[in-house]
């Protein structure tokens, strides 16, 4: 038996950092697979046992789950990103919703099933701009399997992206803190000034350009 309604888990990563994009993931079961076949799949059983809120499991386990998601064709996902400049322009809340909308659209292109009913399962208490019915679940990454997978997918994808960006901006060691306001990160900003992937609308960066003489134009633009 194949599902008549497609439920899509949606979650984000990167609302709190001072640098880098906000990333969202949308994930669902591939409707081409029968439910019984998926339920008996060893990878599904592993994911069902281990997938939880991405913030509550180790980076090693997140990576293992991430790789399981990538290699299994019974799961289909889409990734959406919003850049720091857009975050500064529309604010982080609106940027988060936009990233989710982009993730859902990318997933839909992969599914290519216009006639199937789709229901979005969102982590939080808000809705996004979408034609599909939506169910908002507070702490959904702890309560719903698909949202948990989306949470882990978004988190690991963003972490890997920040590791790549760290090579371009080595002073800030983004591979260590992923853009979050750690003591090291704040000291690096104070010493070198912000770079072009920092979020200037976030405290303490929003007043940095006015107060600091260390912020070189080539670092920003």
| Extents of the domains making up the chain | 5-167, 168-220
Cα separation, 135 vs 70, in Å, equals: 26
Cα separation, 178 vs 174, in Å, equals: 5
Which neighbouring-strand residues pair with 13? 23
Report pLDDT digits (tens) over 119-143: 999 999 999 999 999 999 999 999 9
Report pLDDT digits (tens) over 141-171: 999 999 999 999 999 999 999 999 999 999 9
- In which band, very low, low, confident or very high, does the pLDDT at 210 lie, cut at 50, 70 and 90? low
**For 112-220, where are the alpha helices, taking DSSP H only?**
140-143, 145-168, 174-177, 183-192, 208-211, 217-220
Token representation of residue 172: 């800030």
Which neighbouring-strand residues pair with 77? 27
- In which band, very low, low, confident or very high, does the pLDDT at 216 lie, cut at 50, 70 and 90? very low
Cα separation, 218 vs 221, in Å, equals: 6
pTM of the model: 0.89
Cβ(219)–Cβ(198) below 8 Å: no
Token representation of residue 21: 């994009």
Cβ(99)–Cβ(158) below 8 Å: no
CATH number, span 5-167: 3.30.420.10
Query: Which one has a higher pLDDT value, 150 or 5?
Result: 150
């Amino acid at each position: 038996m194949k599902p008549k309604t497609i439920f899509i888990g949606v979650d984000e990563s990167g609302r709190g950092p001072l640098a880098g994009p906000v990333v969202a993931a949308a994930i669902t079961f591939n409707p081409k697979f029968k439910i019984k076949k998926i339920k008996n799949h060893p990878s599904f059983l592993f994911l069902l046992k281990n997938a939880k809120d991405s913030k509550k499991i180790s980076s090693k386990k997140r990576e293992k789950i991430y790789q399981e998601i990538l290699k299994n064709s019974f799961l289909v996902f889409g990734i959406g990103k919003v850049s720091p400049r857009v975050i500064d322009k529309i604010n982080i809340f609106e940027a988060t919703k936009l990233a989710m909308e982009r993730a859902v659209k990318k997933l839909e292109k992969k599914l290519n099933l216009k006639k199937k009913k789709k229901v979005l399962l969102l982590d939080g208490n808000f809705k996004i701009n979408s034609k599909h019915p939506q169910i908002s679940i507070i702490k959904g990454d702890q309560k719903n399997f698909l949202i948990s997978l989306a949470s882990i997918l978004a988190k690991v994808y963003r972490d890997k992206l920040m590791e790549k960006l760290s090579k371009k901006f080595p002073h800030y060691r983004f591979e260590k803190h992923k853009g979050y306001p750690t003591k090291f990160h704040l000291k690096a900003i104070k010493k070198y000034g912000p770079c072009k992937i920092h979020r200037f609308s976030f405290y303490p960066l929003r007043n940095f350009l006015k107060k600091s003489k260390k912020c070189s134009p080539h670092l920003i633009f």
